[in-house]
A and B are shown apart, each in its own frame.
Chain A
Amino acid sequence: DGGITQSPKYLFRKEGQNVTLSCEQNLNHDAMYWYRQDPGQGLRLIYYSQIVNDFQKGDIAEGYSVSREKKESFPLTVTSAQKNPTAFYLCASRGAGLNNEQFFGPGTRLTVL
């Protein structure tokens, strides 16, 4: 069963703590992405990776970090430097299909108390 998994679905953390969101894909896609979604706003790109061991900052990378040590995995760390971390976080991957579509995971809703 191919797809993208994100865990956990809901996450609660105290202010000042770092937290890591998991994203795994078994679609054999090279490109992976992290987005943040806030109510009434479009998806905003945090980081993306076109290939293993390489990643680039998106539009709102401050306060976040990523790694891409394996093709299947692209974890996102929300650090204490992120001023407003409460949001819905979406991971996606993209292959070489004709439609250039991104495949999204189910999302992680992070609440910082």
Chain B
Amino acid sequence: SQKIEQNSEALNIQEGKTATLTCNYTNYSPAYLQWYRQDPGRGPVFLLLIRENEKEKRKERLKVTFDTTLKQSLFHITASQPADSATYLCALPTGGFKTIFGAGTRLFVKA
């Protein structure tokens, strides 16, 4: 069955450094991949979409890569700030209107 894996261990980094989060998937060839941010006790918020024919996508301090051979996406936050502390989820469409979400990686940025 289709599966998404994100590092379950929290990522702790110092302010100003680049945070890199990983999303791996199996048994699937998605047309695109999404990243969402979720703050504690709140619903996820969409950040970026990258399509299968795009190697890299940028939005302000965010950069996403998509390697369909490795079946992996990397999510980078450059010049990280304490306000970037949150859980980041990757998501893949599974056909029709359905999407599967990874469990997320918790990021802590220390001032």
Which residues of A line the B interface, CB within 8 A? 4, 31, 33, 35, 40-43, 45, 48, 50, 58, 88, 90, 92, 94, 98-107, 109
Q: Are B44 and A100 in contact (CB under 8 A)?
A: no
Q: Are A107 and B104 in contact (CB under 8 A)?
A: no
Q: Are A42 and B97 in contact (CB under 8 A)?
A: no
- Main SS of the interface on chain B? strand
Q: Interface residue count for B (Cβ, 8 Å)? A: 22
Whether A107 contacts B41 in the complex (CB less than 8 A), given A42-B89, A99-B34, comes out as yes
B93-111 near A? 1/0 per residue, CB < 8 Å? 1001111111110000000
CB distance from B28 to the nearest CB of A (A): 14
A-chain residues with CB within 8 Å of residue B101 when the two chains form the complex: 35, 42-43
The 10 listed contacts between A and B (C-beta, < 8 Å) are A35-B101, A42-B89, A42-B102, A43-B89, A43-B101, A48-B98, A98-B49, A100-B34, A101-B46, A109-B41
B12-48 near A? 1/0 per residue, CB < 8 Å? 0000000000000000000010100000011111100
